[in-house]
Amino acid sequence: MMMSKIKASVWTLGLALGMMGPASAALFDAGLPAGWTANGNAGTLGANGVVTLAPSGGSQYGYVSSNNGVNGVALPGVGGSGSGTNGSTLRSAVFSAAAGDDLEFFFNYVTSDGAGFADYAWARLLDSSSNQVALLFTARTAPSGSIVPGFSMPAPAATLSPASVTIIAGGPSWSPLGGSSGSCYSSGCGYTGWVQSNYEIATAGNYVLEFGVTNWSDTAYDSGLAFDGITVGGVVIGEPAQVSEPAILALMGLGLVGAAVAGRRRQTA
């Protein structure tokens, strides 16, 4: 009897230790996760052209592109002079977060457009009813200066690393841009490289993460956004919360104590 209780305790500990392992970086390795919804051109891709794999370590990343996008996709009332034309969004399945959880991920903005046609991309945190909670960041085509955060755009709610990013210039080769891959309209085209975004969620609740991109003032020379390594409270988005190490040690102690007490009772019976 005592041995069976010890075995049960060891099995429980092994299960808990398995749950304690590091968060998987493979969110997009098998394609778009179940429950994620695309509007326009969104998908997954491995290292391609100027976009390497993200620092988080997956073998694929997610992306959105204005190439083959749909009309009317842009942030409402945002962008200054001009208007969005066509673009794409990708939204996560609803996920739960506790107050104080960090929402973290990497992104890389890629654009073949340049001066005078300020395409932009973004990430937003929405509630489960699709209301905006926070505009995490924007990335925007510009002939010079900061690409992230974008000019004439709201300040980012997330903390970005690096905090300000200029373009790595040149016609970017990247297949999601379609016929615009490798092309460059005037100064301002290129890519940012991978940038880290970190946002502390203030209130416990259910949320949706949205990535988007839009052409601006025309539909020529497309832009896109790559992203990966998305975690909430240190756990890959959408996965169950992990068991903490102190909780595992406490569980182990309770199991072994319970087994020892049961053994003593049997000996004194």
Residue 21 lies in a domain: no
Mean pLDDT of 2-30: 51
Residue 4 lies in a domain: no
Encode pLDDT of 166-217 as tens digits.
999 999 999 999 999 999 999 999 999 999 999 999 999 999 999 999 999 9
* Total of domains in the chain: 1
User: CATH code at 84?
Assistant: 2.60.120
Contacts with 94 (C-beta within 8 Å, 6 or more apart), sequence order = 35, 128, 206, 207, 208
Concatenate the DSSP letters of all residues of 113-161 into one string: --TT---EEEEEEEETTS-EEEEEEEEE--SSS--BSPTTSPPPSSEEE
Q: Of the segments 2-6, 8-12, 77-81, 185-189, which one has the largest average pLDDT value?
A: 185-189
Residue 196 lies in a domain: yes
Q: Note down the domain range covering 63.
A: 35-239
Asked if residue 149 has a cis previous peptide bond (ω within 30° of 0), the answer is yes
Residue 260 lies in a domain: no
Residue 119 lies in a domain: yes
Encode pLDDT of 224-261 as tens digits.
999 999 999 999 998 765 433 444 334 344 444 444 43
Residue 139 lies in a domain: yes
Residue 266 lies in a domain: no
Q: Which two tokens stand for residue 146?
A: 């900061």
Encode pLDDT of 22-55 as tens digits.
444 689 999 999 999 999 999 999 999 999 999 9
Residue 26 lies in a domain: no
